[in-house]
Amino acid sequence: MAVWVLPDGWQWIQLGKICDIYGGSTPSRSRSDFFGDTIVWVTPSDLRTGGLIETVIDSATELTQAGLDSCSAPLLPAGAVLFSSRATIGKIAIAGVPLATNQGFANFVCGPTVNNFYLAWCLRALTEDIKRLASSTTYLEVSRGKLRSYLIPIPYPDDPARSLETQRRIVARIEALFAELRECRKLHQTVVEDTNRLMDAAVREVFDQPTDDWQTCELGNIAFIQTGTAKGRDFRDRKTVELPYLRVANVQAGYLDLDEIKTIRIAENEIARYRLQPGD
């Protein structure tokens, strides 16, 4: 199913018609002679989520030739697009050297009509839609069969030279925007650091002045110190209510990140013990 309305001359094309799709595998972990040589073997944990499309040239675990031969993982050529398709769906990278992957990937070897970085960015943009194809047993997984019939937008498929040039220009524009974003983040970080230094200096100027009118006291004498609670508690048949739930990750450099606020269920008779009030 088409996701967007395309410009004139563009078409939605099945992935299986423009690239070959391969899986991966894991050699027997009980055989030490299968691991520890020079064949790069990528697992989803080797890749990051988000940011620029990475080019992978190494991995946490490497295989011997015997290890590769013992399993069904093919040796993929440099330039192949790696797409994690199991459990964590949507980690994407480009093979910078010939390598293999475990079974957590669907790997795309592009044909002559598609640029590999363009394909990678398409997969990134369409990841949320691709997740809808996933079947679930113990974890989500998108099969290679479903991916072969999945449609991606290709510019001017009837004119391969124009198509590839357009794809390259799109990739260059995306990467230029990411470069600008990185510079903006650096500037923002500099502003934050300068502001923190200024604030620290202002606080020290106020509180570091010696005076006979000031005293020190224990925090417990001037405030009630309240604990937090862990997620996943079993309240059995007690009545519960749902409250916003803050984690350490929500608080960074003195500000509160409200984009990733989770919720938690708390027993009604424990609300007073855990709920924070305005001003806390």
Q: How many distinct structural domains can be found in the chain?
A: 2
On whether both 156 and 265 belong to a single domain, the answer is: no
Query: Does the CA dihedral 265-266-271-277 come out positive or negative?
Result: negative
On whether both 239 and 145 belong to a single domain, the answer is: no
On whether both 158 and 266 belong to a single domain, the answer is: no
Q: Which domain covers residue 268, as residue numbers?
A: 225-274
Residue 227's pLDDT is 78
Beta strand pairing status for 105-110 and 19-22? antiparallel
On whether both 28 and 96 belong to a single domain, the answer is: yes
Domain boundary among 140, 155, 176: 176
User: Can you list the positions of beta strands (E) in 68-164?
Assistant: 81-86, 88-95, 100-101, 105-110, 135-136, 140-141, 151-155
Asked whether residue 280 is domain-assigned, the answer is: no
Of the listed ranges 62-66, 167-171, 224-228, the least confidently predicted one is 224-228
On whether both 64 and 158 belong to a single domain, the answer is: yes
Asked whether residue 190 is domain-assigned, the answer is: no
Residue 232: pLDDT over 60? no
| Residue 88 bridge partners (DSSP) | 86
Residue 239's pLDDT is 80
Residue 275: pLDDT over 90? no
Residue 251: pLDDT over 60? yes
Asked whether residue 169 is domain-assigned, the answer is: yes
On whether both 134 and 237 belong to a single domain, the answer is: no
Asked whether residue 183 is domain-assigned, the answer is: no
User: Residue 202 class from Cβ within 10 Å (0-12 exposed, 13-18 middle, 19+ buried)?
Assistant: exposed
Render pLDDT for 85-119 as a digit per residue (tens, 0 to 9): 998 899 999 999 999 999 999 999 999 999 999 99
Residue 235's pLDDT is 64
For residues 1 and 179, the model is more confident at 179
On whether both 21 and 86 belong to a single domain, the answer is: yes
125 with 83: CB under 8 angstroms? Answer: no
On whether both 44 and 158 belong to a single domain, the answer is: yes
Residue 267's pLDDT is 80
Asked whether residue 2 is domain-assigned, the answer is: no
Asked whether residue 20 is domain-assigned, the answer is: yes
Q: What global pTM score does this model have?
A: 0.71
Of the listed ranges 82-91, 123-132, 136-145, the least confidently predicted one is 136-145
On whether both 40 and 155 belong to a single domain, the answer is: yes
Asked whether residue 39 is domain-assigned, the answer is: yes
Residue 260: pLDDT over 70? no
